[in-house]
Amino acid sequence: MPPTSGPHFAQAAPFGRTFYTARDRPAMETLVHNLEHGYAVVWYAESLPQADRDALRDLAGRLAKERGKEKLVVSAWDAAYGALPSGSTVAFSRWGAEKGYRQLCGAVSGEALQAFMDRHPSTDSPEPNAA
């Protein structure tokens, strides 16, 4: 199951980079640090078709330019941490100040991601002002 909080490395992934493939993704513990700083992390299954990956890349690029949605990163899910739940090819995570939030999806949906980010803003996190 994609994390919404937990143990993490001391260094977060760089601010401004919005998309990672299976070949260049940061370690899970690095992205958990990003969650602590208010990022929404979108995890996608490596089996996701290329057209859907391209759609996620474009969506992340567009959303990251919107005020209040700058803290967004999309990364291939690392199956070494277990498979995404059955029927899910995309998952959203955010570490809230009091609890974590997660949404599982069977397909790429810009509307679902925008709604998730609106419901769980980056300001609702343990360290919202960190990059």
Q: Model confidence over 59-109: pLDDT tens digits?
A: 999 998 888 889 999 999 999 999 999 999 999 999 999 999 999 999 999
For 110, the 3-state DSSP assignment is: helix
Radius of gyration of the chain (CA): 13
How far is Cα 48 from Cα 64, in angstroms, rounded to an integer?
A: 22
* Domain boundaries along the sequence of the chain: 19-119
Q: Model confidence over 36-48: pLDDT tens digits?
A: 999 999 999 999 9
H/E stretch holding 52 reads helix 50-63
For domain 19-119, give its CATH number from 3.40.50.300, 3.40.50.10860, 3.90.850.10, 3.40.30.10. Answer: 3.40.30.10
